[in-house]
Amino acid sequence: MPTIYRITYPNGKIYVGKDLTDTLTYFGSPNAALVSADFPPPDRVSFTLTKDILWRSDIASPREVAAQEVGFIRTLCANNPAIGYNRWPRFAAWS
């Protein structure tokens, strides 16, 4: 069952992703260098993530799931470097 999820890191930043198989232990694939840069070694001793399912469907096609993922990334501003670790779609700050 396809899902869209949000991972929340200890610093409050988020990552939004999709999982076409609803695998409990899947926590996405954010850019490891971006995440690591925010957590020096002492902060890595105990590290807790939260995974929230934002959306799921029994009938959505992979294309529909991808569209939902992009929608949630934009709605939650997960692609804003101050808020999240998604880097696509590219964040456009409005002046």
Residues 10-29 pLDDT 10s: 999 999 999 999 999 999 99
What's the pTM value of the predicted model, to 2 decimals? Answer: 0.94
pLDDT digits (tens, 9 = 90+) for 36-64: 999 999 999 999 999 999 999 999 999 99
The distance from CA 31 to its chain's CA centroid, rounded to whole angstroms, is 11
Domain ranges in the chain? 3-76
Distance CA 90, CA 80 (A): 8
Helix (H) or strand (E) holding 36: helix 32-37
Between the two ends of the chain, the Cα-to-Cα distance in Å is 39
| The 3-state secondary structure of 60-88, one letter per residue | CCHHHHHHHHHHHHHHHCCCCCCCECCCC
Distance CA 22, CA 12 (A): 24
The whole-number pLDDT of residue 93 equals 77
